[in-house]
Structure 1
Amino acid sequence: MNKITFESYKRKNGHDEFIEWIQKLPKKDSAKLLRIIKETEVNGMLVAQRLKWVKKIDTNLYELRSKVGSNIQRAIYFHVVNGRYVITHGFTKKTAKTPLHEIEHAKEIRKEWYNHEN
Structure 2
Amino acid sequence: MSVPLYQAKAEFFRTLAHPVRIRVLELLCEGPKAVRDLLAEIEIEASSLSQQLAVLRRYGIVTATREGSTVVYALAGADVSELMLAARRILTDLLTDRRELLAELQAPTSPGEGG
Greater percentage in strand = 1
Higher Cα Rg: structure 1 or 2? 2
Structure 2 length-normalised TM: 0.30
Structure 1 length-normalised TM: 0.29
Greater percentage in helix = 2
